[in-house]
Amino acid sequence: MGAFRTLYYIRVIKPITMTKFLPSFFILLLVACTNPQESKNEYTQLFNGKDLTGWTPKLAGFKAGENYKNTFRVEDGLLKVSYAEYDSFRGEFGHLFYKDVFSNYRLRIEYRFSKERTMGAPDWAFANSGVMFHSQSAESMAVDQEFPVSLEAQFLGSEEGNIRTNMNLCTPGTHVTMADTLTTIHCIDSNSKPNMLGEWVTVELIVYGDSIIHHLVNNDTVLTYSKPIIGGAFLPKADSAKTGMPVKDGYISLQAEGHALDFRKIEYLELKRKGNR
């Protein structure tokens, strides 16, 4: 009865008051319904959960498209970097390239490192992988080229006694600007909390062409830089003429550096270029 009395009061006793506020009420309702918050429907899934459709493997020592020893595979709905068929790792550094070129976007990836080590992998490759972006294509890489000219958002796993930051930046064949200063340091640490082996981690990139770029780990921004350009000691001689050129777009690839890991989500959201960025 209390609810009924309240409704009656609004309808009968105060019709003028209700009429007065109806327009404002519907405006607020409209704003709430059209607020451009992210939704799952806005993201495009790059991994279909079934196979490697849209992806091209490129491993050092092999031509683009050759998936040596089934390094990249899909099992139980997960995209895997696997060394199950290797007797030993011998420098077959690999990347799995998506088919499209990206420029202004938000990329979201969920991954976890295996707790097992790979026979023959170098010590520095322990729980070490990443996503390359603003990258050259798989087909343009030399057969023996180990890493594409790109920016790398580096995945690093931690264990007891070996704690490291995650989503650092490495720059094979590129440079970036940090705090208005061009830096030629190859790898730059983020300020992230550690992520342990076996833990599912959500990492993101927010990329605005050749302007500003953010790295995020579990929704926290851990690194920001800007103005990527071609250059550095890791640049193949064939690309030396491009030194100093801004890097505005490129391919995305998932890295295989000698430690097994799983991906369960790879998705992107196209962004509009902000202002003069």
Q: pLDDT tens digits, residue range 39-71?
A: 445 999 999 999 999 999 999 999 999 999 999
Q: What is the pTM of this model?
A: 0.84
pLDDT band at 33 (very low <50, low <70, confident <90, very high): very low
Amino acid 2: pLDDT? 38
Amino acid 273: pLDDT? 72
Query: Span 233-257, mean pLDDT?
Result: 95
Query: Span 208-230, mean pLDDT?
Result: 98
Domains of the chain: 2-28 (no CATH), 48-270 (2.60.120.560)
Residue 3 has pLDDT above 50, yes or no: no
Three-state SS string across the chain, please? CHHHHHHHHHHHHCHHHHHHHHHHHHHHHHHHHHCCCCCHHHCEECCCCCCCCCEEEEECCCCCCCCHHHCEEEECCEEEECCCCCCCCCCCCEEEEECCCECEEEEEEEEEECCCCCCCCCHHHCCEEEEEEEECCCCCCCCCCCCCCCEEEEEECEECCECCCCCEEECCCEEEEECCEEECCCEECCCCCCCECCCCEEEEEEEECCCEEEEEECCEEEEEEEEEEECCCCCCHHHHHHCCCECCCEEEEEEECCCCEEEEEEEEEECCCCCCC
